[in-house]
Every structure is written in structure tokens, then in C-alpha cells.
Amino acid sequence: MEGIDYVMAATINSSYGACLVSKNIYDGKGRLKWCIREDDKNELDNGWRFLSDIDNEEYLEDSNNWCVLAYESVIEIEPAVLAVYNMPVGTELTLIQEGKRKFFIDTNTGKEITLYK
């Protein structure tokens, strides 16, 4: 994401690294819905991008609508993301909640992701 400053993330003491999170998630306006892993931009960035259920293209194009968080902070917001941390670059997931059950589907195929065998 162009215009995002990772300098503030330099204070993040995280073994999981930093990621980009929609401010709608951070501010509690929307819930975490989409998880995308891109190539990292620097040594602090782990490549994960988290979008909310209310984000749209126009909102996401504005770099002021993103924040840099430690991955652990995202886990505090939505614990389900702990299970996907090691998925490879190119991963695109949608978090589905049906009652008390939460699971991920591959955004491109619509197939449920098996995280544990």
C-alpha cells in the first residue's frame, strides 16, 4: 500500500511482525472479513492486509484509512487470524461466521480452508 509509513511500526516488538489493517477494524466500525497476504514491503512488514466487512474500494485507496499494527494486536481483535499466520504470499481468505462457528474460505475458489489436520 503506497503512502503507509512503517516508521511507527518500528516500536512494535513483535515476533510476528507488522501488518496493515483497515481503520474500520481498528476503530470497531466494521468486523474483520478479508485477509490478504502480499509480498512484504520491508523487514517489519509480514505482508498481511486485513479489510473489514464495510470497506469499499474508494475507502481502501486512501492510505489514511489504514493503520500499521503488530500481528498480535490483530489477534486480540480477531483471534481466528492466529491460525492463518503461516499461509503463503498470495493467500486471499474470507472469514465467515455462522452462529458461533468461524471459518475461512478461499476468496477465489469459495472452498473452506482446512487449517488443522
Beta bridge partners of 95: 104
pLDDT digits (tens, 9 = 90+) for 48-92: 999 999 999 999 999 999 999 999 999 999 999 999 999 999 999
Q: Which of 55, 104, 112, 57 is nearest to 78 (CA)?
A: 104
pTM value is 0.87
Choose the most confident range, by mean pLDDT, from 7-16, 38-47, 108-117: 38-47
The letter for the amino acid at 99 is: G
Q: For every residue of the chain, which 3-state class applies, written as one string?
A: CCCCCHHHHHHCCCCCCEEEEEHHHHCCCCCEEEEEECCCCCCCEEEEEEEECCCCHHHHHCHHHEEEEEHHHHHHHCHHHHHHCCCCCCCEEEEEEECCEEEEEECCCCCECCCCC
What's the mean pLDDT in 15-41?
96
Q: What is the largest CA-CA distance in the chain?
A: 40
The reported pLDDT for the residue numbered 50 is 99
pLDDT at 8 over 90: no
